[in-house]
Structure 1
Amino acid sequence: DGSLPECWLLAEWPPGQAEPTDYWLSTLPADTPLRDLVRLAKIRWRIEHDYRELKDGLGLDHFEGRSYLGWHRHVTLTALAQAFCTQLRYDPKAPAPA
C-alpha cells in the first residue's frame, strides 16, 4: 500500500545545548523500553571502537597478499587477537594497567 512502518525517532539533547546533537531511527516494537532503545542506539560506538582497534592496533589493514586463503588467515588471526584482548580487558582477575 506504499506506507512505511512506524518507527521511533530518538534524539539526544544534552543540557546546555541549543539543539539535539544526535538522532537515531528504530523500527523496534512500540513496547520496547526506552532504556533498551538508548542502549542499542549507543552500541554503534562500541562497533566503531572495535573496528578501529582491529585496524590500527592489531593490523587488520596490513595485509598485502594476493590470495583469498592468505587474506582469510590474516583476518582470522586478527579477529582471534582482538577476542583475546577483549577477554583480557573483561577479566576481573587481571592486574590493572600501570
Structure 2
Amino acid sequence: MSNLPATTPVADLVRWAKMRWRIEDDYRELKHGLGLDHFEGRTWRGWHHHVTLVTAAQAFLTLRRLDPKVPMPA
C-alpha cells in the first residue's frame, strides 16, 4: 500500500494519511469558502491580486484555527 520502508511506524503512516485529508479540506475551503474560483478578470495582475488575497485569508483562518487562545464557536 505504500512505498515507504517496512520499518515505518504505523503512527507515521496514519499521520501522513490524515495530512492528505487536511490538504483536500483546505483546498475545498479555498474554493467554496473564500472564493478562489470566483475570479472572472482577464489580467495577470488582477488574477495575482485575487489569489494573493485569498491565500492571505486562508493563512489567517489557519492561524486562528491553530491558536489555542481563540474561542471556537459552538
Same fold (TM over 0.5): yes
> 1:49-76, CA deviations, whole angstroms, 9 ceiling, x for partnerless residues?
1011001110101100111221111111
Give the CA RMSD over aligned residues.
Answer: 1.3
Structure (1/2) with the larger helix percentage: 2
Q: How does 1:1-98 map to 2 (within 5 A)?
A: 9=1, 26-98=2-74
The count of residues paired between Structure 1 and Structure 2 equals: 74
Greater Rg by CA: 1
Q: TM-score with structure 1 length normalisation? A: 0.68
Q: TM-score with structure 2 length normalisation? A: 0.87
Runs of 4 or more off by more than 6 Å in structure 1?
none
Percent identity over the alignment is 70
Q: Which runs of 5+ in 1 are unaligned?
A: 1-8, 10-25
Structure (1/2) with the larger strand percentage: 1
